[in-house]
Amino acid sequence: MVPTNRRACPGQKIRLTEVQEMFKMFSGMLYDIWPGSSSNRSKEFGRKTVECGEPMDEEFEPAPRAEPGQRSEDTQKTMPFVPVGREESLSEKVEKQIREAILRKVFLPGERLPSELELCEAFGVSRTAVREALRMLSARGLVEIRKGSGAYVCQLSLASVVDPFAQLLRMKCGPESHLYLVQVRKFIEPDVARLAAYHRTPEDLEDLQGQLAKMEATHGGSPDEMILADIQFHRRLAAIAQNPLVPIVLEPLFRLLPQFISDTYKQERAPDLAIRYHRRILQAIDQRDGDAAYEAMREHLETAEEHARLFLARRAMLQREAEGRS
């Protein structure tokens, strides 16, 4: 965790522990917005057992929800907190325990957290440490602080998970982000294309055909519209795969694609090749040929990787030339 009074400077390296914390938060949030689990899993915290895993609708709205402005069982609920002692970074330790309680559904969306005084007593820390912890949680999008009312657990959404994770990837990858991005996609998307070929419906096929038609219609015209259609084609494949984790895992990567595709489209014949590969992928999916869909996607992304390497090499050359003139 990074204290709120410290700001990362440009070029500053991110500690491994910070990346691990982000992945841990990401996985916890995925559990909270899981859209289709049918099992009833229970976790016991203190004296309260929370039933979780109920089916969720397309809005990713978890159930159950607390009534607005209320805390379930109010002060009778056993708070799953332990005193954190008198070491440094007390606010970080407080924030971590509250965050874990929220992600484990001890406190539900819309529910008011214990008051500052109750939290001070539970953790054995000052009000300053508690307030700083609540500010951290607010910055994460986990709680909303209402003046004169208290802190309330926020409704988690796909955007609340994806956006911070995409920002971390953008910051962590640095100048080599184009190459890293396409390499990760190579690990995932060929199998996604295979699944899409097996599971697609006539309506899915029509959607994919529509996105490809937009790519073809905007080729040579508006690059932004062609890029958007390109990304939407891949989003549709992720949705068609019928694995609810696939769109969630891929969406942070898709958020980084506009700049990547814009730069790679500058390579000679790159847009033409993109359309050609998308046609092959669509044809394989139309024929329900999973192996052909896998191979077409793999070749598509290998070509994209070559374009990324060319772009990075050219950018490095231009930077050296600029430095030589200065």
Helix, strand or coil for residue 224?
helix
For a pLDDT cut of 70, what percent of the chain falls above it?
73
Alpha carbon distance 268, 290 (integer Å): 30
- The one-character DSSP state at 123 is H
Alpha carbon distance 204, 217 (integer Å): 20
| 64 upstream amide cis, omega within 30 of 0 | yes
* Of the candidate ranges 26-35, 79-88, 108-117, the one whose mean pLDDT is the lowest: 26-35
11: nearest Cα among 226, 174, 214: 174
Non-local CB neighbours of 261 within 8 Å, separated by 6+ positions: 227, 230, 231
Q: Are strands 150-153 and 143-146 parallel, antiparallel or unpaired?
A: antiparallel
pLDDT range class, residue 265, cuts 50, 70, 90: confident
Distances (CA, A) of 100 to 21, 26, 276: 12, 12, 47
Bridge partners (DSSP) listed for residue 44: 49
What values do phi and psi take at 144, rounded to 5? -115, 125
Structural domains of the chain, ranges and CATH numbers in brackets = 16-156 (1.10.10.10), 164-325 (1.20.120.530)
- The one-character DSSP state at 14 is P
pLDDT tens sequence across 11-67? 444 444 544 555 555 555 555 545 444 333 333 333 333 333 333 333 434 445 555
Q: What value does the mean pLDDT take over residues 123-127? A: 94
For residue 200, is pLDDT > 80? yes
pLDDT tens sequence across 127-147? 999 999 999 999 888 999 999
Non-local CB neighbours of 271 within 8 Å, separated by 6+ positions: 219, 220, 226, 265
Helix, strand or coil for residue 157?
coil
* Of the candidate ranges 14-23, 121-130, 179-188, 283-292, the one whose mean pLDDT is the lowest: 14-23
Greater confidence (221 vs 161) lies with: 221
> How many CB atoms lie under 10 A from the CB of residue 95?
25
Alpha carbon distance 95, 101 (integer Å): 10
- Under a CB-based contact definition with an 8 Å cutoff, are residues 204 and 292 in contact? no
- Give the pLDDT confidence score for residue 67 in this predicted structure: 58
Non-local CB neighbours of 1 within 8 Å, separated by 6+ positions: 18, 21, 92, 95, 96, 136
Sole residue written with tokens 């898709």: 254
Report yes or no on whether pTM surpasses 0.85: no
